[in-house]
Amino acid sequence: MRNKQRRHAGTLWMMGACTILAAVICTSALASSRSGKTFSFNSQGTAYEAELDRSVDPSPYDPDRFVSSGSSMTYEDKTYTSRMGVDVSYYQGDIDWEKVKKAGYEFAFIRAGYRGYGDAGNIKADENFVKNVQGAQAAGLDVGVYFFSQAVSEKEARAEADFVVKMIEDNGLSIDLPIAFDPEKVFTSDSRTSLLKDSQFTQNCLTFCKEIASRGYDTAIYSSMLWEAFTFDMSQFRGIPIWYCDYVSKPQTPYNFRFWQYSSTATVDGIPTPCDVDIELYRK
């Protein structure tokens, strides 16, 4: 997905909720795939074909109406419009949120914490979480939160949800956007999730979101094209917004989403390092 060095320490390769630097799929191919039983997409130069789940809400967006210019992305049709955002963690350093706002970004997803690797799998807070939330909101950005998960069970997913809520409430924070669950499959010697069954990932997502919702917060699930096609049971996520990750010029997913992380290497004024940028789609 994106550069994981900013999510947690260490230089390692991941294939997580979004290890995608995909080639652009043509609009006609996507449109024709929706009329059949499968859909096609590209990821890291490899072509894939996956079964289309017709029980999942389809994307209402016209791919040709997504317009990119540099690090910017916009969308406009008769029903939907858009706004741009960023998502950041400790690895982006000290952020000048006033500059981010002036650069045209209106929301931010900020990492609350992460679960480490190895048998212990300790949960840790992002060192800049509180400072980033307060700074972004003071500059006029709407703020959402995400947690980088290495949960291997519903019990651990529930603990991660509890941790995020505690981080918010113990620090007297208010959140404007959803709390997003970011599940990751990590392929390292100390990985906790590389052998986890796909069904368990789906259950972990549902458990996290149910716990967050029970505490009065909105939720979302972060997902890549590969995970939508081959890992998640997308039919289980009805009513939960999807934060879709795919580093292409036009979205490839046939399914509905609310947020799209379209780049992990954007240059944004006020942020010292390359960062993820996103677009939110909403009704006019």
For 68-108, the pLDDT digits (tens) are 999 999 999 999 999 999 999 999 999 999 999 999 999 99
4-283: CATH topology is TIM Barrel (3.20.20)
Buried b (16+ CB within 10 A) or exposed e, 110-122: bbbbbbbbeeebe
Domain boundaries in the chain? 4-283
| Dihedral Cα 220, 157, 93, 2, nearest 10 deg | -60
φ and ψ at residue 24, rounded to 5 degrees: -80, 130
CA-derived radius of gyration, the chain: 18
Q: Token pair 């009513």 is at which residue?
A: 239
| 121 to 35, 124, 191: CA distances (angstroms) | 44, 9, 9
Nearest to 164 by CA among 120, 208, 206: 208
Residue 151 pLDDT:
95
Residue 36 pLDDT:
53
- Residue by residue, pLDDT tens for the chain (284 residues) are 444 433 433 333 333 434 333 333 333 344 434 445 999 999 989 999 999 999 999 999 999 999 999 999 999 999 999 999 999 999 999 999 999 999 999 999 999 999 988 778 999 999 999 999 999 999 999 999 999 999 999 999 999 999 999 999 999 999 999 999 999 887 888 888 888 999 999 999 999 999 999 999 999 999 999 999 999 999 999 999 999 999 999 999 999 999 999 999 999 999 999 999 999 999 99
Residue 22 pLDDT:
35
For a pLDDT cut of 70, what percent of the chain falls above it? 87
Bridging pattern class, strands 123-125 and 72-75: unpaired
